[in-house]
């Protein structure tokens, strides 16, 4: 699989006043593969927006190189722009002409993207219908809800059929239903239309649901690149198995004693009784040994669920940011 | 057909149609004009106030004209009423003001509403967008120009518009707009990096309107030699002189009395090339400094 985006040793320093400077990006390198859904995570001010703007040709780095579909942001910015659909973040639906209708906004940007009028007409109508905006297409954008504006921004980014989408917090400020709709749409674009998506978000559930790989950026440096699972495993200090058992007339002590007799069980970390169903979090040496052993040894018990318990993505993110993980 | 297939189909349909031809570039420029026109027409009150503005301007100078005698103007080389003299001045000054200020103001507006970056990530170059804005400014000012002249003619102000001098009038307008739009592009270039240039624009345009002789003949300035020579160094002075000679005195543009102004105006043509160079320089600087979206 080829790389859709290659970021190599990018450094960007902003000068503030005469003698202050902020290192926004410090030797940042990573790749995004073709057809990949790639998440860029980081706290506010970490450098995410700076990075997406560099990839989108809006900002020139001090050093390093970025290739988008093989085109250099320095030498062929127009080809880079043709390859990407960019949706800026933190707009809450700004970045549109509020005194134009949704349809006219899209028509204007289709023209700027160089899309033939006839083609633009078909694409605009298809996308508006797909995202349930067709009935409001001719209303002025000033009368749109935030969700409708975000949908419009997304459609705008797609009009010229870019192979790569760069989306800066596309679901921020949306209600649950609209966020779900946008997520479904993004997944469809990625899975069915093979669009490469570079995506920034603070919503960990969303990132976990959508992204194939994640990069974490903090203070201008990439500190992690990998899948959500790898991210969780990286911060896992103790291997934990979670067990849910219905007591079925037996006592808690009987269960604890059975567990402690097992070879791979090290310690019971916590237990919780939820209306007759006990949930145990057990520290183990190797979860892949423990789980079959539990199934065998507890065959007389009513096991509700048994699984390897990893930290949440949120916990993993916080620990990686704090440097609290095992290299 | 499923929804996803519809999407795929919508993309498939346009494959191979997006080419960077001249026709497409023109299409983009007119796309900018079309969008600006639609936005403006959606501000109905502004449109209405523009019409009131035209009528009020004409009426103000119509009544001031009763205070200025034609004899005084004749001594300064204009055989006409003051009303006709001022009418041409204010009609043309609108073109100049729009040419100079529109692009940078529009740019600041786009930055503040957040659309400027979205425009810059399209594959329309900033040059084409600027040309579109300048063209819209020209078309909009043309309505103002025609409206002013028609208002003046309706209240009996004598100006000469015939089938013979109309092409010359259009030529002068186009030529003047071209030169002054380049000054506008220079301001826009500065605005990309230094943002708030509204005050500079105001001072500059007021100065050129004052020295260019919108409401008085620049011959008066001969009493103040430095100001007079300064006024001759301003392209607007020559645009206005040329227009008055054609529309008031009925002189042909190729007549030596008029062509001197045409030559003077031509000297400013390199500004067109220079302005795009400066614009691209400042645009690149803004991209380096991260100043494109700040305001």
Of A98, A99, A113, the CB nearest to B122: A113
Residue ranges, chain B, pLDDT below 70: 1-4, 13-20, 65-70, 73, 76-79, 294-295
Encode pLDDT of B35-87 as tens digits.
988 888 887 777 777 778 777 877 777 777 666 666 776 776 666 777 788 88
d(CA A230, CA A248): 37
A170, A12 contact by CB (below 8 A) = no
User: Could you list the residue range(s) of the whole structural domain that residue B232 is in?
Assistant: 42-289
Place of tokens 């600087």: B285
Q: Is B141 exposed, middle or buried (0-12, 13-18, 19+ CB in 10 A)?
A: buried
B131, B103 contact by CB (below 8 A) = no
- Amino acid B42: pLDDT: 81
Encode pLDDT of A242-258 as tens digits.
999 887 777 888 888 88
Test A115 with B18 for CB contact under 8 angstroms: yes
Q: Tell whether B95 is covered by a domain.
A: yes
Domains of chain A: 3-225 (3.40.50.300), 237-309 (3.30.70.980)
Test B34 with A108 for CB contact under 8 angstroms: yes
Contacts for A43-46: CB closer than 8 Å, 24+ residues apart: A43/A218, A43/A321, A46/A217, A46/A218, A46/A219, A46/A220
- Amino acid B16: pLDDT: 47
Q: Tell whether B10 is covered by a domain.
A: no
- Number of residues that this document lists for chain B: 295
What is the bridge-based pairing of β-strands A239-246 and A277-284? antiparallel
Structure tokens at B201: 């624009």
**Beta-bridge partners for A68:** A5, A71
The domain total for chain B is 1
Q: State how far residue A111 is from chain B, nearest Cα, in angstroms.
A: 6
Place of tokens 């093979």: A194
Q: How many Å separate Cα B27 from the centre of its chain?
A: 21
| Concatenated DSSP letters of B73-123 | HHHTT--S-HHHHHHHHHHHHHHHHHHHHHHHHHHHHHHHHT-HHHHHTSS
Q: In what order do the strands lie in the sheet with A20-33?
A: A20-33, A3-16, A63-68, A71-72
Helix (H) or strand (E) holding A31: strand A20-33
Q: Tell whether B116 is covered by a domain.
A: yes
Candidates B292, B84, B66; CA nearest to B195 is B292
- Amino acid A144: pLDDT: 92
d(CA A253, CA B163): 108
The more confident residue out of A86 and B152 is A86
- Amino acid B295: pLDDT: 66
Test A58 with B14 for CB contact under 8 angstroms: no
Test B3 with A113 for CB contact under 8 angstroms: no
The contacts of residue A299 (CB under 8 Å, 6+ apart) are none
Encode pLDDT of A275-324 as tens digits.
888 888 999 888 888 888 888 888 888 888 999 888 888 888 888 888 65
Which residues of chain B lie closer than 8 angstroms to A119, CB-CB?
A: 13-14, 17
B129 close contact with A: CB closer than 8 A: yes
């Amino acid at each position: 699989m080829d790389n859709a985006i290659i970021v190599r040793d990018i450094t960007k320093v902003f000068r503030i006043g005469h003698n202050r400077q902020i290192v926004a990006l410090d030797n940042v390198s990573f790749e995004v593969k073709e057809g990949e859904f790639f998440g860029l995570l980081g706290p506010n001010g970490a450098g995410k927006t700076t990075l997406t703007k560099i990839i989108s040709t809006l900002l020139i780095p001090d050093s390093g190189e970025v290739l988008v579909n093989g085109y250099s942001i320095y030498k062929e910015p127009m080809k880079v722009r043709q390859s990407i659909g960019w949706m800026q973040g933190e707009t809450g639906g700004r970045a549109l002409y509020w005194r134009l209708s949704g349809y006219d906004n899209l028509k204007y940007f289709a023209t700027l993207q160089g899309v033939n009028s006839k083609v633009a007409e078909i694409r605009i109508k298809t996308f508006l219908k797909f995202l349930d905006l067709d009935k409001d297409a001719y209303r002025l954008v000033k009368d749109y809800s935030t969700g409708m504006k975000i949908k419009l921004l997304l459609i705008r980014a797609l009009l010229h059929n870019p192979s790569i989408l760069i989306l800066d917090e596309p679901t921020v400020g949306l209600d649950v239903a609209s966020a779900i709709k946008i997520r479904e749409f993004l997944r469809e674009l990625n899975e069915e239309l093979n669009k490469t998506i570079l995506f920034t978000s603070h919503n960990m559930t969303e990132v976990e649901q959508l992204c194939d790989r994640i990069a974490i950026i903090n203070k201008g440096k990439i500190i992690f690149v990998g899948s959500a699972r790898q991210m969780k495993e990286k911060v896992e200090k103790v291997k934990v198995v979670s067990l849910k058992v219905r007591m079925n007339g037996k006592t808690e002590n009987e269960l604890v004693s059975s567990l402690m007799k097992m070879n791979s069980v090290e310690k019971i970390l916590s237990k919780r009784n939820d209306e007759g169903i006990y949930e145990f979090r057990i520290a183990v040496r190797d979860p892949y040994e423990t789980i079959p052993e539990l199934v065998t040894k507890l065959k007389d018990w009513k096991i509700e669920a048994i699984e390897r318990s990893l930290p949440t993505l949120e916990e993993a993110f916080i620990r990686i940011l704090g440097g609290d993980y095992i290299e | 057909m499923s929804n996803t297939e519809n999407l795929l189909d919508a993309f498939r349909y346009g494959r191979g149609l997006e080419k960077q031809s001249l026709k497409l570039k023109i299409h983009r420029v007119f796309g900018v004009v079309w969008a600006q026109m639609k936005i403006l027409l959606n501000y109905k009150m502004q449109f209405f106030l523009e019409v009131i503005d035209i009528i009020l301007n004409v009426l103000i100078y119509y009544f001031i004209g009763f205070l200025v005698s034609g004899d005084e103007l004749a001594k300064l080389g204009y055989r006409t009423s003051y009303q006709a003299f001022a009418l041409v001045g204010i009609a043309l000054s609108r073109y100049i003001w729009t040419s100079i200020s529109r692009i940078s103001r529009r740019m600041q507006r786009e930055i503040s509403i957040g659309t400027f970056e979205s425009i810059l990530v399209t594959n329309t170059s900033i040059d084409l967008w600027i040309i579109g804005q300048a063209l819209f400014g020209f078309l909009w000012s043309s309505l103002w120009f025609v409206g002013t002249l028609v208002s003046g003619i309706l209240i009996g102000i004598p100006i000469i518009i015939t089938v013979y001098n109309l092409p010359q009038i259009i030529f002068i307008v186009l030529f003047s707009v071209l030169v002054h739009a380049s000054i506008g592009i220079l301001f826009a270039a500065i605005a990309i990096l230094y943002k708030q240039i509204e005050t500079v624009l105001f001072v500059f345009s007021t100065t050129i309107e004052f020295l260019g002789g919108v409401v008085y003949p620049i011959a008066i300035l001969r009493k103040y030699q430095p100001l007079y020579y300064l006024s001759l160094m301003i392209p607007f002075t020559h645009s206005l002189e040329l227009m008055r000679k054609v529309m008031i005195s009925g002189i042909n543009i190729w007549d030596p009395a008029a062509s001197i102004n045409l030559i003077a105006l031509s000297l400013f043509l390199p500004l067109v090339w220079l302005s795009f160079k400066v614009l691209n320089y400042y645009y690149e600087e803004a991209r380096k400094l991260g100043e494109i979206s700040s305001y």
